[in-house]
Amino acid sequence: MDKVRRIGVLTSGGDAPGMNAAVRAVVRTAIANNIECVGIRRGWQGLINCDFVKLTRESVGHLLSRGGTILYTARSEEFMTEAGRQKAVTTCKMLGLDGVVAIGGDGTFRGALELSRLGVPVVGIPATIDNDVGCTNYTIGFDSACNTAIECIDKLRDTMQSHERCSIVEVMGRNAGFLALYVGTAVGATAVLVPEHQLDFEKDVVERIRASRLSGYTHFMIVLAEGAGKATELATKIRDVVGLKPTITVIGHIQRGGAPSGRDRETATRMGYYAVQSFVEGRGDCIIATQEGGIVEIPIEEALTRKKHLQMDRYKIMEIMQFGSHED
Ligand code: F6P
């Protein structure tokens, strides 16, 4: 890459606490290297529409603790088309962008790959509360979202305990159960249902409620990832088979909001720094990833082929914590 003078930064896909901290780090690292930074608003769609805002050291002040994204976010149908992407390239030329930092999940990175194939260097920063980006151990926002869900469930447990209820709590995770498993373990759930594990209702729910009852419990907490099944259907089955009347709590988008945790602020800051460094050192076209404690760059195309599997050892640990024995 030639000397980089101006870069764009955007956030795309579902927002995540810590995205603002990443934007701040990108802008401040760029400025420290005499690179101008332009904020592209509303993700890839903003690049198509030339929807931008100039960012300065001051304009990204007080962002570390702010949830959401000041750059707004969107999912762009138009960017999926060749014509849309050509418009985005035209914007990059018009704004004189030597590169773009794209903050988001796998969907964002598929867009990044397409843009880089059209000659615009891109660096991706993983940010999604689902933690389901294959090339990185950690995605910005996961820790904050888990903490939010845990706080909600702790409150819910108080009243469940008083009323001796069974509760189904639906947490986010359309395709991945990382959040559900982490949260379920942290709140001591009776059962955790995740999309990666084919539900065996008798074994995964009925037996666990019964075992829990036998050991003296009178309230039961089922944590359900949204992609693992319908809470209403599960509630009906529990009522019919076990005789309990579960209440349903959907935590929903609350998990995506709020001030980022310390871990998310710190990780976002390091990732933002390394994203700009990649341009400064003449590389680009990569995803910034955490691996075994350190930060690495992975070429975008390769990053998109990586898969991350739910840690089944953690699943087993969660099960043992409730009942002390397991078969396999
Ligand atoms: O941010 C990831 C995620 O929370 C998924 O778990 C969820 O399925 C999806 O986003 C929902 O996002 P939206 O409601 O914005 O479409």
Which pLDDT score is estimated for 235? 98
Pairing relation of β-strands 191-193 and 166-171?
unpaired
pLDDT of residue 131: 98
Please state, rounded to an integer, the average pLDDT across all residues of the chain.
96
Nearest-atom number in ligand 1 for the CA of 255 is 4
**Alpha-carbon span 221 to 192, nearest angstrom:** 9
Q: Of all protein residues, whose CA lies closest to atom 15 belonging to ligand 1? A: 14
Tally of CB atoms within 10 A around 275:
31
Q: Residue 299: in which H helix or E strand, if any?
A: strand 294-299
Distance 132 CA to ligand 1 centre (A): 12
Task: Determine the 3-state secondary structure of 295 from DSSP.
Answer: strand
Fold of the domain built from segment(s) 144-256: Rossmann fold (3.40.50)
Q: How far, in Å, CA of 309 to CA of 212, rounded?
A: 28
- Identical topology for domains 6-141+260-303 and 144-256: yes
30 vs 32: CA distance, rounded Å = 5
Q: Is residue 42 a contact partner of residue 73, using CB atoms and an 8 Å limit?
A: yes
The pLDDT of residue 324: 58
Kindly report the length of the chain.
328
Name the residue among 205, 230, 209 with its Cα closest to residue 219. 209
Residue 327 has pLDDT above 60, yes or no: no
Among 130, 146, 226, say which to mutate for ligand 1: greatest number of ligand atoms within 8 Å of CB: 130
Write the CA distances from 8 to 43, 59, 61, 125, 209, integer angstroms: 11, 15, 18, 13, 52
What is the distance in A from the centroid of ligand 1 to the CA of 129? 9
Q: What is the pLDDT of residues 26-66, one digit of tens each?
A: 999 999 999 999 999 999 999 999 999 999 999 999 999 99
C-alpha–C-alpha distance, residues 290 and 306, integer Å: 13
**What's the CATH number for 6-141+260-303?**
3.40.50.450
| Cβ count within 10 A of residue 320 | 11
Run of H or E including 233: helix 231-242
323 CA distance to ligand 1 middle (Å) = 32
Residue minimizing CA distance to atom 1 of ligand 1: 14
Which DSSP state fits 216? T
Specify the DSSP class assigned to residue 10: E
- With a Cβ cut-off of 6 Å, ligand 1 is lined by 14, 128-130, 172-174, 226, 256
- In the numeric block, the tokens 């950690």 are attached to 138
Distance between Cα 144 and ligand 1 center (Å): 15
Residue pLDDT, tens place only, 71-123? 999 999 999 999 999 999 999 999 999 999 999 999 999 999 999 999 999 99
| Residue 94 CB neighbours (<10 A) | 10
- As a whole number of angstroms, the distance between CA 177 and CA 192 comes to 9
**pTM for the full predicted model:** 0.96
What is the rounded distance in angstroms from the CA atom of residue 180 to the CA atom of residue 145? Answer: 10
Q: Closest Cα to atom 12, ligand 1: which residue?
A: 14
Could you tell me which of 172, 152, 192 has the C-alpha nearest to residue 256? 172
* Confidence at residue 328, expressed as pLDDT on a 0 to 100 scale: 36
For position 293, what pLDDT does the model report?
Answer: 72
For residue 323, pLDDT beyond 80: no
Indicate the top mutation candidate among 69, 172, 253 to test ligand 1's pocket, ranked by most ligand atoms within 8 A of CB.
172
Tell me: the pLDDT tens digits for 157-170?
999 999 999 999 99
Please tell me the distance from the alpha carbon of residue 96 to that of residue 117, in angstroms, as a whole number: 18
Nearest CA to ligand 1 atom 13: 14
Taking residues 169-173, report their average pLDDT. Answer: 98
Using the predicted structure, report yes or no on whether residue 1 has a pLDDT greater than 80: no
DSSP code at position 170: E
Catalytic positions, please? 130
Residue 49: in which H helix or E strand, if any? Answer: helix 43-49
Domain locations along the chain: 6-141+260-303, 144-256
Q: What is the number of alpha carbons within 13 Å of residue 15 lying toward its C-beta?
A: 25
Model confidence pLDDT, tens digit, residues 251-308: 999 999 999 999 999 999 999 999 999 999 999 999 999 998 799 999 999 999 999 9
* Pocket residue to mutate for ligand 1, from 72, 133, 174, 310, most atoms within 8 A of Cβ: 174
